[in-house]
Chain A
Amino acid sequence: MRITRTVAGRSRRTAVMATTGLTAAALLMTGCSDSGSDSDEADANGNITLTVADFGQFGYKEAGLFAKYHELHPNITVKENVTAQETVYYPKFLQQLNTGSGLADVQGIEVGRVKELVDTKADAFADLSDVVDPAQWVNWKALQATTDEGKVIGAGTDIGPMSICYRRDLFEQAGLPSDRTEVAAKFAGGWKDYLALGEAYKAKAPKGTFFMDSASAMYNGVVSSDSEQYYSKDGKAIYKDSAGVKAGWELATEAVDKKLTQGLAQFSPPWQAALRKGSIATVACPAWMAAQISTYSGDEFKGKWDIARTPGETAANWGGSFLAVPAKGKHVKEAGELVKWLTAPEQQAAVFKAAGLFPSNKGAYELPDVKTAKLEYFNNAPIGEIYAEEAQVIPAAVLGPKDGVIKDTISTQINNMEQRGTKPDDAWKAATEAIDKVIG
């Protein structure tokens, strides 16, 4: 057999065409999105663009606030740049703070990170204490973003009073009450009762459904109700002996042991998919979670979700965020004005109405939008009533610089127990090893 090597002759032109086409296609496929801040200088007419970088759901889009702001200030356009997961958002944000480039005019900060930024990066933010009036906020919220010198680096957006979101239709099919007061009565005694209800659900659960998404959600609910969580008042990491962590961990291991959970890491794509498919019966629900649920569950389950008061007597706050203005921004003054407006009572009430994120600004609690608020998606649950009472009695939790990472690490290990059958002792050991590495 003779070997002849190809010589591009006759078909050179077609080959070139094909090559060019393929190259173009490949280049299109490799399109890499660069999401740097593009807050430009004001143009000739004094028009400026303000960028807001945030994560998860802040509810501004749902409430149409950016469009409204543009109506009020025709020369200002607001662009929002959303990162789905806060754990992806924050490291990038820190890097941008270090290099001083790529920052938006307004940046969101999650409560698990705010202490670290107050301790280490206060200089990088504009002082908002003379832009907003910190006294308007629930006391503990304002303090979280205030340095020892009294500088305020962030204005509180929402807080996360706890509740339980549940699927009425699944409860009915499992032979459980579906009315929200009756459901709440079922776990009036606390999280233990919540687990007992889970067992009752599991006994007659519709095929392919689970009582809760992940025990890590319940764990966070339990820990959030304690004033001492991961750090003591003098800034020591005490998570190994903290009563709240212990209680939460034990409940979580019990839930895993009884197979009451689907074992999905919260906010991950599989978790989103499970909400879309409707396989989750209850979710431990801080106020902001409602927005997540309605987003991912979609129209199919509209009105089938409902919200019941949190288990037990202890009020809890899980999460919540702040808006900060980086000091090096091009439009610090305008950004400050925007933050002031976004966190004012009326706007917080509008966000609450649209997405269920509960206001941290006390002035909002008296507004009818909050007082009588009902979430249509959740079978018109009177969330205003449910959360407002709770918000008043939330304990002022001691925050620490690495709260966010510690919480995520423990959640990951709870997921490991759920998904891989890791033994509780091994999971706890892995968690403490990882956390010690975090605290470094």
Chain B
Amino acid sequence: MATTTPTRGAHGSRPSRRAPKPMTARRQAWRSRLWRFDDKASPYAYIAPFFLVFGAFGLYPLVYTGWIALHRVEMTGLDQMEWVGWENFANILQDSEFWTAVSNTFVIGVISTVPQLMIALGLAHLLNYKLRASTFWRTVILTPYATSVASAALVFALVFRADGGLLNWVLGFFGAGETNWANGHWSSNIAIAVIVIWRWTGYNTLIYLAAMQAVPSDLYEAASLDGASRWQQFRNVTIPSLRPTILFTIVISTIGSMQLFGEPLLLEGGQIGAQGGTEHQYETLSIYLYNYGWNLGHLGPAAAVAWAMLVLLLLIAGINWLIGRFVRKTAA
């Protein structure tokens, strides 16, 4: 372009020279009908992509999994489906391994979620103070979340190894004997909980921190004028203001711990990991599902397990909701 000092709009559209055509009545009616249609239909078109994607990747798999759960289907012949009704559900409910998996999932869920959220609250509180290079610290705290499950689990597998593991080596200095972490029921569950805590604490910390930033500062100022200590401020200002956020993190963590898979799979790895330990001592529901479907090749029971997990999650969500309502009531 050869213009010297381009002014705003110089590159824009040229003003049209022609006057607009006068519209006929029929055309106007057509226009308004279009307009009305547009007004009614457009919103649906705007939200359609989500529902189409959800239908294809969320709802359809959900329903089809339910369909598979009512059949005998083998990994070696996906095209042969034999109707068996509720037999798969009956089988898994009678399988002691399933209940082992349920209890392990709960135990690991509790011993990972509770400390995790408490540590996250404390850390968020600390990060909420004025400190040097705060952005740096906030980023550092999120790095575990950014590592993949696989690499975290593999590193911790080395830490918890029975022979030559880092943890046993450290404990050896204090005169403790060799612990075979993966072999014991509690020790393996604790080991897995540690991996989960390490990975997710930072994530929850940031959520809490964001919520804390939103707490009006005059509340704190008023509290400190009244002579409240930091601890009292934390208890009487921060926690009540964070109640909805805490509830949210509890729900998210519950769903997460219900689907725990990578950590137990890789703690020992290989065939043993895929069974959740030699005596299923750290078998979670996801591992149980995976073992049934992929190791044994029986997809029917595996699909039944998936549905059982959904039912359990809904139950937990219901209990959560009741507790939440109770908490809100007492708060009011």
Contact = CB atoms under 8 A, between A and B. Distances in A.
Chain A: interface secondary structure?
helix
A440 interface: yes
A32 B150 contact: yes
Contact of A18 (B129, B133, B161): B133
Nearest to A268: B270
Interface string B263-288: 00000111110110011000000000
B5 interface: no
A72 interface: no
B76 A116 contact: yes
Given A26-B146, A408-B271, A420-B278, A3 B224 contact: yes
Given A18-B139, A412-B278, A26 B76 contact: no
Interface in A1-38: 1-6, 8, 11-12, 14-16, 18-19, 22-23, 25-27, 29-32
A399 to B, nearest CB: 15
Interface in A312-348: none
Interface in B93-145: 95, 97, 128-136, 139-140, 143
Interface stretch (B61-69, B166-174, B291-299): B291-299
B78 interface: yes
B298 A18 contact: no
A9 to B, nearest CB: 11
Interface residues of B, number: 54
Interface stretch (A90-98, A131-139, A171-179): A90-98
Interface in A384-420: 401, 405, 408, 412, 415-416, 419-420
Contact of B135 (A8, A408, A415, A430): A8
A109 interface: no
B296 A405 contact: yes
A83 to B, nearest CB: 10
B143 A95 contact: no
Interface string B58-81: 000000000000001011111000
B139 A22 contact: yes
Given A29-B151, A412-B275, A5 B128 contact: yes
B198 interface: no
Given A85-B270, A268-B272, A30 B146 contact: yes
B163 A15 contact: no
B271 A87 contact: yes
Interface string B225-249: 0000010010000000000000000
B4 interface: no
Nearest to A437: B296
A29 B146 contact: yes
Counting contact residues on chain A (CB < 8 A from B), the size range is: 35 or more
Given A88-B270, A94-B75, A2 B148 contact: no
Contacts of A247: none
B294 A95 contact: yes
B230 A19 contact: no
A422 B295 CA distance: 24
A89 to B, nearest CB: 11
Nearest to B147: A29
Interface string A58-99: 000000000000000000000000001101100100110010
B31 to A, nearest CB: 51
A438 interface: yes
A45 interface: no
A19 B139 contact: yes
Nearest to B273: A88
Contact of A440 (B135, B268, B269, B298): B298
Nearest to B143: A26
A269 B129 CA distance: 46
A87 B221 contact: no
Contacts of B292: 437
B162 interface: yes
Contact of A120 (B74, B162, B295): B74
Given A19-B136, A32-B150, A2 B297 contact: no
Contacts of B163: 270, 273
Contacts of B320: none
A290 interface: no
A26 B203 CA distance: 14
A91 B295 contact: yes
A112 B301 CA distance: 24
B172 to A, nearest CB: 16
Given A26-B146, A116-B76, A416 B278 contact: yes
B217 A3 contact: yes
B270 A87 contact: yes
A23 B72 CA distance: 46
B307 interface: no
23 contacts: A1-B224, A3-B129, A4-B130, A8-B135, A12-B135, A14-B136, A15-B134, A18-B139, A19-B136, A22-B139, A22-B143, A25-B143, A29-B147, A29-B148, A29-B151, A87-B271, A120-B74, A268-B270, A268-B272, A412-B272, A419-B278, A437-B298, A440-B296
Given A94-B76, A268-B270, 12 more contacts: A1-B224, A15-B133, A15-B135, A22-B139, A22-B140, A29-B148, A32-B148, A32-B150, A87-B271, A87-B274, A412-B278, A437-B292
Task: Kindly list the 4 A-B residue pairs having the minimum CB-CB distance in the complex, ordered from nearest.
Answer: A15-B135, A26-B146, A120-B76, A87-B271
